[in-house]
Structure 1
């Protein structure tokens, strides 16, 4: 089955490690064979990987975009995913297992997709923690 991408003006995509940028017009691209593809808006900058889920996301993203590093990264990714299992409740733990299964199957894009809800939840948790006046209570 072919993958049909509609690219916005100036949108970036990475195909098999090659970064491409669309021109100033909207275009449709059909990819007819398997390739490692990720859109620019799904990419996480290394400096933004400051939380546990974001760090795993970044490692998986690197495995997706850098085939030469996969053999080295996959064991580290699986360890990091295993560390996330006790952090989330039962309703979100399935996302971690799903991501681990996709990594084992070398389907890195689907692994990233499985982690996105966890990244959102993690951001919510850290935002709430930042607003908690726990330091004032200790004084």
Structure 2
């Protein structure tokens, strides 16, 4: 049996590079073969890739949905993760896990791990912001 997907009215998704928008009613269908699928909640548009971790996610997303051309995105990925780890060395373990998935062409799993990286980045930035706000004279 394939992957059963239920879409809310107006919900979008990408199936093997094609953007699909559901109509006015809830619908359910089954994808019977293995193809890249991303639901709307997992898609980041380029203009929303506005932080280092989100840019990493966006590049992996391109690898996943454009599998014929995925190799062209690899240099940008390695550049972005190198910069990220330099700025946040504590992220090394998670970045290594993501990279392992990339090397195994497991892009969906890499995206899921990168969602953790985005949450981690948010925590770091919130901590820095709180620390900056608590400095006397600010």
- What TM-score comes out, normalization by structure 2 length? 0.82
The corresponding residue for 1:119 is 118
The answer to which of 78-87 and 9-18 deviates more is 78-87
Relative distance call for 1:69 and 1:138 in structure 2 (3 A) is: farther
Helix, strand or coil at the partner of 2:25: coil
- What TM-score comes out, normalization by structure 1 length? 0.82
The corresponding residue for 1:67 is 67
Gaps of 5+ in 1: none
The corresponding residue for 1:27 is 27
Relative distance call for 1:95 and 1:136 in structure 2 (3 A) is: closer
Matches within 5 A, 1:1-139: 2-85=2-85, 87-89=88-90, 93-133=92-132, 137=136
How far apart in 2 are the matches of 1:126 and 1:94? Answer: 19
| Superposed CA RMSD | 2.4
Moved over 3 A (4+): 82-86, 131-139
Q: CA deviation at 1:88?
A: 4.8
Helix, strand or coil at the partner of 1:132: helix
Gaps of 5+ in 2: none
How far apart in 1 are the matches of 2:132 and 2:6? Answer: 46
1:34-55: CA deviation from partner (whole Å, max 9, x where unpaired): 1011011111122221221111
Helix, strand or coil at the partner of 1:117: helix
1:59-98: CA deviation from partner (whole Å, max 9, x where unpaired): 1112222335412102321332344345253xx5443222
1:16-44: CA deviation from partner (whole Å, max 9, x where unpaired): 11000112222222111110110111111
1:83-130: CA deviation from partner (whole Å, max 9, x where unpaired): 4345253xx544322211221122211111011111012112223323
